[in-house]
Amino acid sequence: MAVQVHNEVDRKLADSLKKLAASHPIEKITIKDITDKAGVIRPTFYNHFQDKYELLEWIIGVDLLQPIFPLLQNGMTTAAMVLLFSNIERERDFYTRVVKLEGPVTFHDIAQRGVKKLLLELIEERMTGKNPKHEWLTPDVVAAYYAQSMCFITESWVRQGMPYGPQEMAEAYQYMITRSMEDIINEL
């Protein structure tokens, strides 16, 4: 995953949004609110981000996706998911609010786009050049499928109040992605 460069201003703006989200719905937070809290002027925000949704995308990329990328590169899916869930749990209040984001842009949209991009990069790194068994199973389709499942389990966990620990959730995710639907149904 291309490392997203971040500097002190990016981090200040991110921290400002996180603090504001503790007491306000994200859709109600303005750029002025973010810049005032960060102690910078509005033009500074626009030198770094288009809008608060791009800032949110940056936060998800830097705080959640970048840290798990090396683990996924090394086939350590369960460890990657433990880290992902742990990082979300550490900022429980923020992600609980972010998941509730409504309007033209949702957490689901932002997260799925970021995860798909990360997975597509992994797939392209590992492609062998063989012909796929099914032409329809392009790297884009495979990345979208697994991004959807990863985001679904993560969002569901957050919406339920994170009732299970990161390790248990990671193991449940690994269990689901390594078995067929028929196998899982037969085990219920």
- For 74-99, the pLDDT digits (tens) are 999 999 999 999 999 999 999 999 99
Record the tokens describing residue 3, joined without a space: 């490392």
Instruction: Answer whether 0.85 is exceeded by the pTM.
Output: yes
Tokens of 8: 């002190």
The pLDDT score that the predictor gives to residue 3 is 46
SS3 state at 188: coil
Torsions phi, psi for 71 (to 5 deg): -65, -45
What lies within 8 Å, CB to CB, of 27 at 6+ separation is 101, 102, 103
Quote the pLDDT of residue 5. 57
Res 84: pLDDT: 97
State how far the alpha carbon of 4 is from the alpha carbons of 15, 63, 69, 87, in Å.
16, 10, 12, 17
User: How many helices, marked H, and strands, marked E, lie in the chain?
Assistant: 11, 0
Around Cβ 18, how many Cβ atoms within 10 Å?
A: 19
* Pair 65, 118: CB distance under 8 Å: yes
With vertex at residue 95, the alpha carbon angle to CA 115 and CA 102, rounded to the nearest 5 degrees, is: 85
Residue with tokens 């109040």: 161
State how far the alpha carbon of 114 is from the alpha carbons of 84, 117, 162, in Å: 13, 5, 22
Q: How far, in whole angstroms, is CA 51 from its chain's centroid?
A: 18
Residue 164 three-state SS? coil
- pLDDT value, residue 41: 94
pLDDT, residue 2, reads: 52
| CA terminus-to-terminus distance, the chain | 37
Regions of the chain where pLDDT drops below 50: 3
The string of pLDDT tens digits covering residues 116-140 is: 999 999 999 988 888 878 888 899 9
